[in-house]
Amino acid sequence: MKLRNGAEYIESLRKIHPIIYYKGKRIEDVTRHPATAPHVRAAAMTYALASSKEYRDLATATSHLTGRTISRFTHVHQNVEDLIKKIKLLRVLGQKTGTCFQRCVGHDGINATYSVAYEIDQKYGTDYFERFKEWLTHIQDENLMVVGAMTDPKGDRSKSPAEQADPDQYVHIVERRDDGIIIRGAKLHMTGGVNSHEILVMPTTAMNEPSRDYAVICALPVNAPGVTMIFGRQASDDRRDKMERIDAGTRAFGTVGGEAVIAFEDVFVPTERIFMDGQTEFTPAIVYRFAAHHRANYGACKTGLMDVLIGAVSYLTQIQGTAKASHVRDKTTEMIHLCETLYSSSIACSAEGWPTPSGAYMVDTMLANVCKQNVTRLHFEVARLAVDLAGGFIATLPSQYDLESEDVGHLVKKYFSGVEGIPYKHRIKIARLIEAMTGGTALVESMHGAGSPQAQRVMILREGNLDKKIKLAKALVGIPLKSGTPRIRK
């Protein structure tokens, strides 16, 4: 791997100069700008663990394409063990950063595209699969970070891509040339986009034949001509941008993944980087497989975050002298129970993985959707219990400037002290961490990342196999299996 550690990853970003805007001004260096630097450091942890003796087995893999050691975030899952190791790695990374470390989306896009490109070739005799393997070998050898770009603006959601008044509401091909294609449109909420090296563009929904120009999978560098990114606002980002030192955890790694709009304004993509062009019947598969892989992740990365949050709240109750109270112990127990319940969902859908025709392994899609549906509930309940135990002062703490003020600093120190012998700064820092992890952007991402809750419910019902369940009930009570559903008279 060319990029062997976090420092080399950070240095690589300083050389590519993509066009990025934040609050109306261009960011010249994402590794140093206060809005983006924390997210760079969080992603750098994925590189650091790969060079760590303790975590190397989880963070690296052997490429089935070259036999060389690669980052697990560039690996195509070859068996159930790969799926489970990924889950274990994501929980560790959540524990190490307390936030999103951003490489999952690209990893899931790689795995979904690998299997779908193979199946397109099998049907049409195209060479998308070979192109993709060549591109992926480059990604693996260089150890590049890929942003998986799936979510389009969608415009009028009651209409298909081809029916939109503004055709750019979905990324689409505007010109086909002998040497490649020109694309136009945008992708929203792109986690880690500003600190990635490559963009993997994928369709965001199932498409019909009139929308064939929107059925495109391709890859391009983040600094390709015509690509512009706009970095999103986040909760308390002004406080972070001013680098208040008491916001220790969030200042180091950010509050969530660092989402951006990626606009494509007549961007050229060469033929060798095109992996789908118009094969609309395969758009459901790419969306379905990507979503399943990504939803499986949430029961791992979010439990890593919950581990940190539970630890922070437990320490705060020690500082405040309430740790031994029966209701505190009971609520802490409930937080741990919810955390491990969620983690078991990720492990389960990985353990039930299966091989696609390409050889790449898929998670169990039903269990992956159940996993993400659990995230939209259990993470919020853990956060609610954390706020309950922490107390209201996590939202009303004075600032770093008050703490350092000659006029009122002594009052902050005096009245925010807790149990004797524990520094007042510990209480303030831990409270700021809890505030960041239970409010604003972080929980919104838990709810809507990898698809909003209704998307999982649709898939759960679709895969629930109600016909089989009806047959089970009939068989148990002796009703003939071929008996139909009775008519209901109006």
Concerning whether 301 is annotated as a catalytic residue, the answer is yes
Strand partners for 172: 184
Concerning whether 104 is annotated as a catalytic residue, the answer is yes
Give the three-class secondary structure for 28: coil
Mean per-residue pLDDT of the chain:
90
**CA gyration radius, the chain:** 24
- Contacts from 130-135 at CB under 8 Å and sequence distance 24+? 131/271, 131/272, 131/273, 131/274, 131/275, 132/275, 133/65, 134/272, 135/219, 135/272, 135/273, 135/275
Lowest mean pLDDT among 68-77, 159-168, 447-456, 466-475: 447-456
Looking at residue 114, the DSSP 8-state letter turns out to be H
Of the residues 22, 214, 298, 343, only one is catalytic, namely 298
Contacting residues for 31 by C-beta, under 8 A, at least 6 apart: 10, 13, 14, 37, 40, 195
Q: Which of 438, 342, 260 shows the shortest CA–CA distance to 90?
A: 342
Concerning whether 259 is annotated as a catalytic residue, the answer is yes
**Superfamily in which the 286-466 domain is placed by CATH:** Butyryl-CoA Dehydrogenase, subunit A, domain 3 (1.20.140.10)
Concerning whether 8 is annotated as a catalytic residue, the answer is no
Q: Which of 327, 315, 317, 292 shows the shortest CA–CA distance to 463?
A: 292
Concerning whether 288 is annotated as a catalytic residue, the answer is no
pLDDT at residue 156, rounded to an integer = 95
**With pLDDT > 70 as the criterion, what percentage of the chain qualifies?**
90
Of the residues 33, 189, 293, 294, only one is catalytic, namely 294
Using pLDDT thresholds of 50, 70 and 90, give the confidence band for residue 391: confident
Of the residues 22, 36, 46, 100, only one is catalytic, namely 100
Contacting residues for 19 by C-beta, under 8 A, at least 6 apart: 26, 223, 227, 228, 229
For the whole prediction, is pTM greater than 0.85?
yes
Q: Where are the domains of the chain?
A: 286-466
Is the pLDDT score of 113 beyond 80? yes
Of the residues 33, 197, 301, 317, only one is catalytic, namely 301
Beta strands in 23-126, from DSSP E residues, in sequence order: 25-26, 60-62, 69-71
Of the residues 39, 104, 189, 376, only one is catalytic, namely 104
Report how far residue 108's alpha carbon sits from residue 277's, in angstroms, rounded to the nearest whole number. 20
For 8, the token pair is: 């080399």
Query: 425 or 131: whose pLDDT is higher?
Result: 131
Concerning whether 142 is annotated as a catalytic residue, the answer is no
Q: Which of 457, 445, 352 shows the shortest CA–CA distance to 104?
A: 445
Of the residues 191, 250, 332, 376, only one is catalytic, namely 191
Is the pLDDT score of 311 beyond 60? yes
Query: 234 or 134: whose pLDDT is higher?
Result: 134
Concerning whether 294 is annotated as a catalytic residue, the answer is yes
Region 254-263: what's the mean pLDDT?
82
Using pLDDT thresholds of 50, 70 and 90, give the confidence band for residue 471: confident
For 488, the token pair is: 């209901």
Concerning whether 209 is annotated as a catalytic residue, the answer is no
Report how far residue 323's alpha carbon sits from residue 438's, in angstroms, rounded to the nearest whole number. 20
Q: Do the beta carbons of residue 227 and residue 18 sit within 8 Å? A: yes
From residue 81, alpha-carbon distances to 84, 99, 291, 307, 353 in Å are 5, 25, 20, 24, 9
